[in-house]
Amino acid sequence: MKKRGIGIGSMFYGVGYGFSRQDIGSAIVEICEDGSVIVRSGEVDYGQGSDTIFSQIVAEELGIRYDSIQMITADTFTTPNSGPTSASRVTYVVGNAMLKAARALRKTLQTVAEEILAEKDLLFVDEEVFSESHPEKRISFERLAKEAHNRGLPMVEAAWHDITTADVDPETGQGDAYDVYAYATHLAEVEVDTDTGKVDVLRIVAIVDAGKAINPLNVEGQIEGGVTMGLGYALTEEIKLEGGYLKTKSLGEYMIPTSMDVPPIETHIVEVPVSTGPYGAKGVGEPALIPTAPAILNAIANALGVRVVDLPANLENLHRLIQEGLRES
């Protein structure tokens, strides 16, 4: 017999390290004489798309093309330490450092452009700087960069952003443990075979508050990746220890989901900008993952009337749980 169930999982997540642990992001932005830009960060982009986000932030502030930016990351000889790529902190912390560095350079360029164009109300858009009230007065970004270099102005800016919080009260455990929080809710629909214990996840609906999605496609990919990790956490992934020895010796035994195991994922990006984030953004790394397993397990409980308390809810464990439920009834 097959039974269907629906479950919900919700979470809130403190972005960054919290609890007074030092949490600082850094960036170095350099404008070259030809108008190209070099961005340096100690942060590692291992697939989550942080290089894309950093380039977009700098390009937006300077009014230049995204593809005119060269990213240099995780080079201990030339890049500043920005802390690990973890805790959903990269966009929020290092993105703010990028914003500060780019704005400082823009301020320097603005001073030069005001003198050349004899205008104050300047816009940096599409590789040009021009007056909002007199748009015919304009100068190319490349020419402006060259002029700034010729004047000997500093065209390199380093910036830091610190979100280190005060520790909580040791007596009460209360206080502002984190600088900002992220929120997410996932819904899962499952079908459970009561004879075998096999669980088919029919679909996942993932709703994540990104603050502001600087790159919506990037955020969608983060959510889909997090859901896939949560799927494995709920149903298949298990490290077995026996007598102090590791029995799960390969990924073939650990059973991570493949693309064939991933159900349809419906993503919804909620944007509630935070005043302290770059353009209102905050991280979505862990929030994309955390609610998935609870939603799936709640859906299984809804289908069977029996709650799973041990992970993973694989064939062996779930079949045993079903049989125990039948004996008790």
Give the pLDDT of residue 161.
97
What pairs with residue 37 in β-bridges?
A: 31, 69
| pLDDT tens, residue order, the chain (329 aa) | 899 999 999 999 999 999 888 999 999 999 999 999 999 999 999 889 999 999 999 999 999 999 999 999 999 999 999 989 999 999 999 999 999 999 999 999 999 999 999 999 999 999 999 999 999 999 999 999 999 999 999 999 999 999 998 888 888 888 888 999 999 999 999 999 999 999 999 999 999 999 999 999 999 999 999 999 999 999 999 999 999 999 999 988 899 999 999 999 999 999 999 999 999 999 999 999 999 999 999 999 999 998 998 899 999 989 888 888 755 55
Choose which CATH entry (3.40.50.1950, 2.40.50.100, 3.30.365.10, 3.40.50.2000) describes domain 2-15+181-328.
3.30.365.10
CA distance 209 to 216: 12
Beta strands in the chain (DSSP E): 2-14, 24-31, 37-41, 69-73, 122-125, 128-131, 138-140, 156-162, 181-193, 199-209, 241-242, 245-246, 265-270
The domain defined by 24-162 carries CATH number 3.20.20.140: no
Residues 107-165: pLDDT tens digits? 999 999 999 999 999 999 999 999 999 999 999 999 999 999 999 999 999 999 999 98
Q: Degrees (nearest 5) of the Cα angle 167, 172, 176?
A: 40
Q: Are 145 and 32 in contact (CB under 8 A)?
A: yes
Residues of the chain with CATH 3.30.365.10: 2-15+181-328, 24-162
Q: Which residue has the tokens 């097959």?
A: 2
Q: Degrees (nearest 5) of the Cα angle 305, 308, 313?
A: 120
Q: Determine which one of 43, 286, 324, 328 is catalytic.
A: 286
Label each residue of 81-128 as H, E or C. Answer: CCCCCCCCCHHHHHHHHHHHHHHHHHHHHHHHHHHHHCCCCEEEECCE
Give the pLDDT of residue 168.
83
Active site residue 30: no
